Amino acid sequence: MIASMRSTSISSLLEDSQPLNRYAAEDYLEAWLALTEPEGWNDEDLERLRALFSDRG
Protein backbone atom coordinates (compact mmCIF):
# COMPACT_ATOMS: atom_id res chain seq x y z
CA MET A 1 0.00 0.00 0.00
CA ILE A 2 2.83 2.44 0.81
CA ALA A 3 4.45 1.76 -2.57
CA SER A 4 1.12 2.39 -4.25
CA MET A 5 0.70 5.70 -2.42
CA ARG A 6 4.22 6.74 -3.37
CA SER A 7 3.73 5.98 -7.06
CA THR A 8 0.40 7.82 -7.05
CA SER A 9 1.99 10.84 -5.39
CA ILE A 10 4.93 10.86 -7.78
CA SER A 11 2.64 10.45 -10.78
CA SER A 12 0.46 13.36 -9.74
CA LEU A 13 3.51 15.54 -9.11
CA LEU A 14 4.93 14.78 -12.53
CA GLU A 15 1.63 15.42 -14.29
CA ASP A 16 1.07 18.79 -12.60
CA SER A 17 4.62 20.06 -12.63
CA GLN A 18 6.04 22.72 -14.88
CA PRO A 19 9.60 22.53 -16.18
CA LEU A 20 11.96 23.65 -13.43
CA ASN A 21 14.48 25.20 -15.78
CA ARG A 22 14.21 27.39 -18.81
CA TYR A 23 17.30 27.72 -20.95
CA ALA A 24 17.42 30.57 -23.42
CA ALA A 25 20.32 31.68 -25.54
CA GLU A 26 19.77 35.34 -24.72
CA ASP A 27 20.48 34.56 -21.06
CA TYR A 28 24.04 33.60 -21.98
CA LEU A 29 24.98 36.31 -24.47
CA GLU A 30 26.80 38.57 -22.05
CA ALA A 31 28.79 35.64 -20.66
CA TRP A 32 29.64 34.55 -24.20
CA LEU A 33 30.76 38.07 -25.02
CA ALA A 34 32.91 38.30 -21.88
CA LEU A 35 34.56 34.94 -22.50
CA THR A 36 35.16 35.20 -26.24
CA GLU A 37 35.84 38.96 -26.48
CA PRO A 38 35.04 39.07 -30.21
CA GLU A 39 36.99 41.80 -31.94
CA GLY A 40 34.95 44.80 -33.03
CA TRP A 41 31.76 43.94 -31.10
CA ASN A 42 29.79 46.76 -29.51
CA ASP A 43 26.50 47.27 -27.68
CA GLU A 44 24.56 47.56 -30.95
CA ASP A 45 25.85 44.18 -32.11
CA LEU A 46 24.88 42.62 -28.81
CA GLU A 47 21.37 44.10 -28.98
CA ARG A 48 20.90 42.81 -32.55
CA LEU A 49 21.97 39.34 -31.46
CA ARG A 50 19.72 39.49 -28.39
CA ALA A 51 16.76 40.51 -30.63
CA LEU A 52 17.50 37.66 -33.04
CA PHE A 53 17.31 35.06 -30.29
CA SER A 54 14.32 36.76 -28.67
CA ASP A 55 12.36 36.62 -31.94
CA ARG A 56 12.96 32.89 -32.18
CA GLY A 57 11.23 32.34 -28.85
CA distance 21 to 47: 24
CA distance 7 to 17: 15
Total number of residues shown for the chain: 57
Question: What does the pLDDT look like over 6-56, one tens digit per residue?
Answer: 555 666 656 655 666 677 777 888 898 899 999 998 989 989 988 888 877
**Per-residue pLDDT at 5 exceeds 80:** no
pLDDT of residue 24: 77
Kindly give the residue spans of alpha helices, DSSP state H, lying in the chain. 2-16, 29-36, 43-56
Tell me what the mean pLDDT of segment 1-5 comes to. 47
pTM exceeds 0.85: no
pLDDT of residue 1: 46
Q: Chain centroid to CA 45: how far?
A: 22
Q: 20 near 41, Cβ under 8 Å?
A: no
